[in-house]
Chains A and B, each alone.
Chain A
Amino acid sequence: MAGKLNRRQFLIRSGVAGASALSLPALLAACGGDDGGSGGGGNSLFFENWPEYIDEETVALFAAASGVDFKYTDAYNDNNEYFAKVQPLLAKGKKIEPDIIAPTFWMAGRFVQLGWAQKLPVDKIPNMANLRDDLKGQPWDKAQEYNLPWQTGIAGIAYNMKATGRELKSVEDLFDPAFKGKIGMLTEMRDTMGLVLLGLGKNISQITTFDEAAAGFEKMEKAKNDGQIRAFTGNDYLDDLSAGNFAACVAWSGDVLQLAKDNPDVKFFIPEEGGTSWFDTMIWVKGSENGDAVAKWMDYVYDPVNAARITASVQYMSPVKGVQDELVKLGGEAAALAEDTLLFPDDATLARLQSWGALAEEEEAKFDEAFAAITGA
Chain B
Amino acid sequence: MKFALAVYGAPANSQAPQSALHFARALVAQGHEIVRLFFYQDGVNTATAIAQPPQDESNLSEEWQQFVQAHNLDAVVCIAAALRRGIVDQAESDRYELPGHNLRKGYELSGLGQLLDGALMADRFITFGA
A and B found bound together: no
Query: What is the interface of chain B, defined by CB distance below 8 A to chain A?
Result: none
